[in-house]
Amino acid sequence: MNIYKIVLQLFVLVFFLLSCNNSVDKPKLETQKINFGIVIHGGAGNMTKDNFSEIQILEYINKLNEALETGYSILENGESSIDAVEQTIIIMENSPLFNAGKGAVFTANGINELDAAIMDGSSLNAGSVAGITTVKNPIKLARAIMEKSEHVMMVGKGAEIFAKKTDLEIVDPSYFRTDARWESLQKTIKNEKEKNISALNSNVDNKFGTVGCVALDKNGNLAAGTSTGGMTNKKYGRVGDVPIIGAGTYANNNTAALSATGHGEFFIRNVVAHDISALIEYKNMSLENAANEVIMKKLAKQKGDGGVIGIDKQANITLTFNTTGMFRGFKTSDGKSEVKIFGN
């Protein structure tokens, strides 16, 4: 009889403990739902479907999807947003479709000068590089500058010496050349002469293709990166907004990760990425409203063409542009995903 009593008491005790455990665990699981996500762009511009053949559109969509999936699976595996941003951008730098790495636009001197930046929102650490001609993946060099040097920004020959020192792949400058970008340079030069306007204001369809990526990882860390050849026919060692931290690239865990594309001079003057971050930080604006305020109101008024992608700590995203198109895509852990080129 005693044995039965003891067994019964034990049974009641185990049942009690199990139900306590459950009631503690359940709400914990709900509040621990982890959000993560990635947003990419491949440049903004006043482009329409007529600028592209069906095959070209398909090529862009496929490459954007490949980049997006690469970054998303890194995040899904629990790796860092910095890794996701770097690897995603490498896919686009290696593709001749975009104005970054292979396929970059030409300067007035007929060479490809590349700019890139990366930023870690958890530490505000950043690395950027401008005017390089021989480093296969400028985004890797930006990351090496962030992690392996005490500096934030390096340019030209010095940056290339540092790239060799950190064992990055060096290529002959001709690696970056594509016939399409060469033809664009010739068209732009002709257009400039005929219409007597600056290349930066010319409407030749050669200005698209800067690439960018922002991501939020499972640990709640934000990161942003951008890479570009700049603008066709750029002169005198011109550097755009991309490698200027706060202009074309910015990430802060307290606000958002942002990567811009467009007419760089406007993005520098308006310190666009940081301006959006500041509106979130000091005015408590949502990411979407802040991006809207800067891109659709402030920049549009100045005729500063371009757009921005962003993601915040809750995996809210924005893809905002005041042009007719932007190569873009996103994928978030709530199951939403999209890749688009034209319209809104």
Q: Which of 210, 232, 255, 323 is catalytic?
A: 210
Residues near 299 by Cβ (< 8 Å), separated by ≥ 6? 262, 266, 267, 270, 272, 305, 306, 322
Q: Cβ 34 to ligand ASP, closest distance in Å?
A: 32
Tokens 């997006």 sit at which residue? 68
- 96: contact with ligand ASP by CB under 6 A: no
Amino acid in the structure at residue 294: V
Please, which residue, 274 or 313, has the CB nearer to ligand ASP? 274
Q: Collapse the DSSP code of 267 into the 3-class scheme (helix H, G, I; strand E, B; otherwise coil) and give the result.
A: helix
Helix axes of 138-148 and 156-165: crossing angle, nearest 10 degrees: 80
- 326: contact with ligand ASP by CB under 6 A: no
| Class of residue 160 by CB neighbours under 10 A (exposed 0-12, middle 13-18, buried 19+) | buried
- 241: contact with ligand ASP by CB under 6 A: yes
Q: Collapse the DSSP code of 124 into the 3-class scheme (helix H, G, I; strand E, B; otherwise coil) and give the result.
A: coil
Stretch of 24-32, 72-80, 172-180, 234-242 contacting ligand ASP, by CB under 6 A: 234-242
- 131: contact with ligand ASP by CB under 6 A: no
* Cα 308 from Cα 112, distance rounded (Å): 24
- 230: contact with ligand ASP by CB under 6 A: yes
Residues near 93 by Cβ (< 8 Å), separated by ≥ 6? 100, 101, 102, 136, 137, 138, 139, 211, 227
- 261: contact with ligand ASP by CB under 6 A: yes
Report phi then psi at 260, rounded to 5: -110, 165
- 262: contact with ligand ASP by CB under 6 A: yes
Please, which residue, 102 or 313, has the CB nearer to ligand ASP? 102
Stretch of 14-22, 62-70, 217-225, 226-234 contacting ligand ASP, by CB under 6 A: 226-234
Contact map string, positions 196 to 225, toward ligand ASP, x by CB under 6 A: -----------x--x---------------
Count of residues interacting with ligand ASP (CB under 6 A): 13
Q: Cβ 182 to ligand ASP, closest distance in Å?
A: 18
* Cα 260 from Cα 119, distance rounded (Å): 13
- 188: contact with ligand ASP by CB under 6 A: no
- 240: contact with ligand ASP by CB under 6 A: yes
Please, which residue, 75 or 211, has the CB nearer to ligand ASP? 211
Based on the residue annotation, tell me whether 210 is a catalytic residue of this protein.
Answer: yes
Q: Which of 264, 310, 325, 329 binds ligand ASP (CB under 6 A)?
A: 264
Q: Report the alpha-carbon angle 220-251-100, nearest 5.
A: 115
Q: Which of 231, 244, 287, 315 binds ligand ASP (CB under 6 A)?
A: 231
Helix axes of 54-76 and 81-93: crossing angle, nearest 10 degrees: 160
Q: Cβ 329 to ligand ASP, closest distance in Å?
A: 16
Residue among 208, 206, 244 nearest 130 (CA): 244
The tokens for 201 are 């204001």
Stretch of 130-138, 163-171, 257-265, 295-303 contacting ligand ASP, by CB under 6 A: 257-265
Q: Cβ 112 to ligand ASP, closest distance in Å?
A: 13
- 228: contact with ligand ASP by CB under 6 A: yes
Are β-strands 125-132 and 153-155 bridged in parallel, bridged antiparallel, or unpaired? parallel
Contacts with ligand ASP by CB under 6 A lie at: 43, 207, 210, 228, 230-231, 240-242, 248, 261-262, 264
The residues annotated as belonging to the active site are 210
